[in-house]
Amino acid sequence: MAEKSTIARPYAQAVFEMAKSQNDYSGWSDGLELAASVAASPEMQAVASNPRLSKDQLGELFLGVCGKNLGKSVENLVHLLIENSRLSFLPEIVTLYESYRAEAEGTIEAEVISAFKVTKALQTKIAEALKARLGREVNLTCSVDENLLGGAIIRAGDLVIDGSATGQLQKLASALSR
């Protein structure tokens, strides 16, 4: 079977082009996120795999769970995915769409995992340094992992900077074992 991203890519590209033509990236993001969270729920997956449920019934049920929050365009996408038995690919479609959106808007999501809480001033410095290095606006999220002992790990797209004490100790242990 083909990888999920291979099947999801044409849908994500089409959705991105529609969002671009409508100049409504955030509206599509909101609707897609809601639909993807419903599609990813174990309950909905069980219902969607029930062979006694028609595609029309599944569509009505799915949109009923989502309520009026999706928007007509996202509802049409959901119907298309159900018709083509691709509803389970919705989370991957959202991930690809968000990467296309970030590229178009010149932004990137970055994550800082540190041993201690990162101050606002340090967050600003990290975001500015990443912006200078990557040439894109940076949306920074921070979390604490006390297992790092000290330092931090920064992830932005494919870039990973491991400045944690744990990471440094692992490098040292690897170097000494050679």
Do 74 and 47 share a structural domain?
A: yes
Do 88 and 113 share a structural domain?
A: no
Banded model confidence at residue 2, pLDDT cuts 50, 70, 90: low
- CA–CA dist 38, 52 (Å, integer): 20
Determine contact, residues 108/157, Cβ cutoff 8 Å.
yes
Do 142 and 77 share a structural domain?
A: no
The torsion angle over the Cα atoms of residues 60, 66, 69 and 71, rounded to 10 degrees, is -40
- CA–CA dist 35, 42 (Å, integer): 14
| pLDDT tens sequence across 71-103 | 899 999 999 999 999 999 999 999 999 989 988
Banded model confidence at residue 10, pLDDT cuts 50, 70, 90: very high
Banded model confidence at residue 165, pLDDT cuts 50, 70, 90: confident
Do 57 and 76 share a structural domain?
A: yes
| pLDDT tens sequence across 42-78 | 999 999 998 899 999 999 999 999 888 888 999 999 9
Helical residues (DSSP H) of 51-164, grouped into ranges: 55-66, 72-83, 90-105, 120-134
- CA–CA dist 150, 168 (Å, integer): 10
Q: What is the largest CA-CA distance in the chain?
A: 63
156: CB partners within 8 A, 6+ apart = 108, 109, 110, 111, 130, 134, 138
Do 98 and 17 share a structural domain?
A: yes
Number of domains forming the structure of the chain: 2
Q: Given a cut of 60, is residue 22 above it in pLDDT?
A: yes
Domain span holding position 133: 107-177
What is the average pLDDT across 134-144?
A: 91
Give the domain CATH number at 8: 1.10.520.20
Do 166 and 79 share a structural domain?
A: no
Do 112 and 95 share a structural domain?
A: no
Do 117 and 88 share a structural domain?
A: no
- CA–CA dist 156, 32 (Å, integer): 23
Asked which of 51, 86, 102 is the last residue of a domain, the reply is 102
Residue 31's nearest CA partner among 63, 89, 70, 81 is: 70
Do 95 and 9 share a structural domain?
A: yes
Q: Which pLDDT score is estimated for 117?
A: 93
Do 86 and 37 share a structural domain?
A: yes
| pLDDT tens sequence across 119-134 | 999 999 999 999 999 8
Q: Given a cut of 90, is residue 9 above it in pLDDT?
A: yes
Cut 0.75: pTM above it: no
